[in-house]
Amino acid sequence: MALTACGGDSTSPVITSSSTLSTPATPTTPSNPTMPATSTTPTTPTVPVAPTVPSSSNGTSVPVIPAPSTSTTGPITLTTPIQNGLFKFSEFERYSVSSGVGQPTSDALGRTDYTLSNGALNEMNTTVFGTQPYTDYLTKTQNMAYYAGHHLLSIQKDNTVGSAIAGSLKILNDHQFQFMHPNSTLTTTLTVSPYLIEGLGQHGSGKTGILTDLDILGLYSVFNGFTFPSGSICYNLSGTDDQANYYFYAQGNEKAIALKDWVTQQTTTANIMGNDGKPLKANNIVYENVGANDDLPAVHFTDQDGDYHAAIIYNGLTYEADYSDGVNPTYRMNLDPTKGLVSCDSYNSVAADAMAAYAKKTHP
């Protein structure tokens, strides 16, 4: 399952049964996908965003998006995504199916419906389309994720994270919940921000608005012409850890390289995503040892945009990692669709049911 906070350079299991909790097969990055320069589908309408107001639960602020004037599902309270101690949402994952070694692959789409409550997590996996059942794919997927901090090393399998964290789940208020990572004291708190997406279709190349799986999954032909029906809501999950840590997983390009050389590579190659076409600058470089016995060399630095870049050496290989400072949200992300793109890949049942029904009809 994929309890993942949106955004970042890799998929962090916020909850994950494969890597949807993702972004998420090798976990995928919930960062903005490459999209066509132009779009023949309807452009994204302007989404009004009301001023942020404090939640009645603990005074923290969450985005308030006006509810639709009409809805097939009844009144929608966008300020309280977690109601009666329950948070229900759905996520999708694109995966590949092949009939054998050396044979061509075809796309498949899986769906997971989650219900979270105190000390319990229920998930239901279904196949939207594809010749290999989604449950079979998840059973065979053995991606490993690692969280390393001072005197901390939590090793997790994608497809078992849900059951591993279920007992520690705690609903904090009407828009936040938290859980503890397996075999560790590392706790992640997720803040849920809801957005009304009725009438939205594929986004295209705009720089503002809400980016959903219609674009994130890259299944452009499957969702071409689709618009979300009345009552559709998506959720952005933003995570904050209570301890500094490095999150990493095997991406297949790991090498035996010294950390100082890795830092040099980051500032001298065309590693310019998110920096307006400018080479990275390495500021505030920190070398340290982390892991259960503090025997794993690691490094992190901030670039000119204030974003973290990190790497860690594990079993002799250097892995690129996501770094959390234990204070700020793990991934810096925009939550105002009028000022930039908002990544939103968790859905209420209205939106998820409509997406699944449309994809079943249109997939190749």
pLDDT tens for the 364 residues of the chain, in order: 455 555 443 333 334 333 333 333 333 333 333 333 333 333 333 333 333 333 333 333 334 343 333 333 334 456 689 999 999 999 999 999 987 777 788 999 999 999 999 999 999 999 999 999 999 998 887 788 999 999 999 998 876 778 889 999 999 999 999 999 998 999 999 999 999 999 999 998 889 999 999 999 999 999 999 999 999 999 999 999 999 999 999 877 899 999 999 999 998 865 555 555 667 899 999 999 999 999 999 999 999 889 999 999 999 999 999 999 999 888 778 899 999 999 999 999 999 999 999 999 999 7
Cβ–Cβ contacts within 10 Å for residue 67, how many? 17
Given the structure tokens 């009301």, which residue do they identify?
50
DSSP string computed for 109-159: EEEEEEEEETTEEEEEEEEEE-SS-HHHHHHH---EEEEEEBTEEEEEEGG
Structure tokens at 70: 């009409």
* Ranges of each domain in the chain: 2-245+331-362, 253-324
Q: What residue type is 182 in one-letter code?
A: P
- CA–CA separation, 290 and 148 (whole Å): 6
